[in-house]
Chains A and B, each alone.
Chain A
């Protein structure tokens, strides 16, 4: 009987150990887009559970940027938060938008 309890206890410790030892990995996810006016990029930082990468994860940062080609000029640059990532809108010459986005799970 004592042996059986010890075995059960041992099993419990092992299971609990597995459950607690989540292995985290970190990766940046980038999105890029460009056309004849200019370009736009978005980058997010993702910290995910290696065993459950698409259900157990955190977005650690959101950033973005962009630029214009030739005589074109950037007139606006904003980064908008989305539930699973971000979207960067680069406005060129007042009216043209170059958009990029990055998200997790990466599609």
Chain B
């Protein structure tokens, strides 16, 4: 009888552990999410053979506001973006963003007397070129073109937990693009972003059947895709008359979430989470996925900026554990399995003895 009680207790513990693990799969239990837009040479060769200039084929194209100066950033090797989430008191999560780019061209145009502020390491500069502006209205301006081995951009912002708003310096930029809260999901007509660009969700679709993949990773259904209504904006270098750097005649924001727990799986664009760290415009192209879709005609691949890895666990307060592998949950899972098997084994042995 006492042994039965022990077995029941062990089973209960095992069930509790497994169930606590299952419920851990929501926003508050993610400690990091890493996304990639990878370079894939066969795709570049395919595009070039169809007449594209190699210069056009990027894994990301971004406009970055650094110290009040706008830069055009084109990345030709991998683009990797990591979001590291840790607890901040009073209902906020702090998100540390790390954008790692390799084989990069950085451009800007500035009036005389303004030097381009540097956000890269001098040792990573492959070439630096200046050219006087040929715009009649900006005769005393100069273009700067830097070719860089690699660039790392970092920044941080807050996510307000009760309404999932991206907050930076007291300003709400809009709904985070990293999570769609299953309890308060994004719906048709709901406001998505607020600042600097206002957008509204225009379409929501849920795919309950098909999974998507990327290399050896499978993203299982249900997958939920939200698309905003169209919006437009101009990005101008904020000196004098303002030099138009990018004219966006039309843009939409598209995100595909894992509908079971709400995390972002892939997207071709940026959003409030990147606007808050200065990336005001972004376009991502995972060339591996594009090759499968466009050349192999296999639609089951994720494209854009694709979820490469994530870590779950208990968020630490204010600290960052980017390189620390999260093995605790795995121990709990396998530990409970071992306990379950042992108890089953013990009962079997007991039965046989009888």
Contact = CB atoms under 8 A, between A and B. Distances in A.
Contacts of A71: none
Report whether over half of chain A's contact residues are helix, strand or loop; otherwise say mixed. Answer: strand
Interface in A52-96: 57-60, 62, 65, 74-84, 87, 89, 91, 94-96
Contacts of B245: 80-81
Given A89-B61, A99-B56, A33 B290 contact: no
Given A79-B246, A94-B268, A59 B135 contact: yes
B248 A75 contact: no
Contact of B135 (A33, A58, A89, A94): A58
B95 interface: no
Nearest to B289: A95
A76, A79, A104, most chain B CB atoms within 10 A: A76
A47 B293 CA distance: 43
A94 B304 contact: yes
Nearest to A34: B51
Nearest to A79: B247
Contacts of B244: 62, 81
Q: Number of contact residues on B: which range applies?
A: 35 or more
A97 B231 CA distance: 18
Q: Number of contact residues on A: which range applies?
A: 20 to 34
B107 A82 contact: yes
Given A81-B109, A83-B131, A76 B251 contact: yes
Interface string B265-309: 000110000000000010101000010011000000001100000
Contacts of B55: 101
Interface string B81-95: 000000000000000
Given A76-B252, A81-B109, A94-B254, A58 B246 contact: no
A57 B131 CA distance: 13
B249 A77 contact: yes
Contacts of B40: none
Contacts of A91: 268, 283
A78 B290 contact: no
A79 B107 contact: no
Nearest to B55: A101
A67 B244 CA distance: 23
B43 to A, nearest CB: 12
A78 B249 contact: yes
A84 to B, nearest CB: 7
A78 B251 contact: yes
Contacts of B53: 99, 101
Contacts of A81: 109, 243-246
B107 A76 contact: no
Nearest to B256: A94
A25 B268 CA distance: 42
Contact of B250 (A35, A74, A83, A97): A74
A64 to B, nearest CB: 8
B281 A35 contact: no
B21 to A, nearest CB: 34
Interface of A: 33, 35, 47, 57-60, 62, 65, 74-84, 87, 89, 91, 94-97, 99, 101, 104
10 contacts: A35-B50, A47-B136, A57-B134, A74-B250, A75-B252, A80-B61, A81-B109, A81-B246, A83-B107, A94-B254
